[in-house]
Homo-oligomer: A and B are copies of this chain.
Amino acid sequence: MIKNYIESLLSPIMNERLIQQLQKIDNFSDEEIDMLQSKLIDKFIRKGDHFLQLGQVSRHVAFIDTGLMMHYSLHDGVEIPCNFSLEGDWMGSLKSFTTGSPTDVAIKALEDTRIREISGDHLQQLFLLSPRWLLFKNHLVQLVFFNITQHNADLAMLDAKARYYKFMREKPELINRIPQYYIAAYLGIKPQSLSRIRKER
């Protein structure tokens, strides 16, 4: 595909972004960042395919270069999204990754997505080489944790309209990239109700 070829040319820019993200967490040295990059593996996940299937054990954490992924669990045959990760984010199923238990939160691509992943084993090696990488893992855990806790409070506190407006306000870049029935499920309402809310403005 032409599009993929063009994206591959963007690699320097994408590296820039990865490095920026890491600097935000802590002032990693160039050597440390090289250590990480030498262990990262490029992958391409086609829209609709999974980074992590339900019941699998998560063995990798990944940085998203381009694209969009959805974390979700399954209830009565319905996919309930609990989080979204997009370009510039790190993602992983933390519970499964750290405990080795089969995951009950799957991760699949909502768009063709380009990632760079690192295995748990390699991450362990980083920890040994430079304990600073523990900060990195902590950061990932905190981020997911914060997201979910916040969303929890929103679901408990706000009505459907307020939840949708808040979503629009805080994640405007997602509103047109996620199918509405997933947004509705994420917000805890039916697609028809979301449609009604959207109409009102």
Contact = CB atoms under 8 A, between A and B. Distances in A.
A156 B155 contact: yes
Contacts of A99: 138-139, 142
A169 interface: no
Contacts of A105: 149
Given A145-B145, A148-B148, A153 B73 contact: yes
A80 B153 contact: yes
B142 A95 contact: yes
A191 interface: no
Given A141-B141, A145-B145, A187 B156 contact: yes
A78 interface: yes
Contact of A76 (B73, B80, B157, B186): B157
A152 interface: yes
A47 to B, nearest CB: 23
Contacts of A186: 156
A150 B99 CA distance: 17
A139 to B, nearest CB: 8
Given A94-B145, A145-B148, A156-B188, 19 more contacts: A73-B153, A75-B153, A75-B157, A76-B157, A78-B157, A82-B153, A95-B142, A95-B149, A98-B141, A98-B142, A99-B138, A144-B145, A145-B145, A148-B149, A152-B155, A155-B156, A155-B188, A156-B186, A157-B188
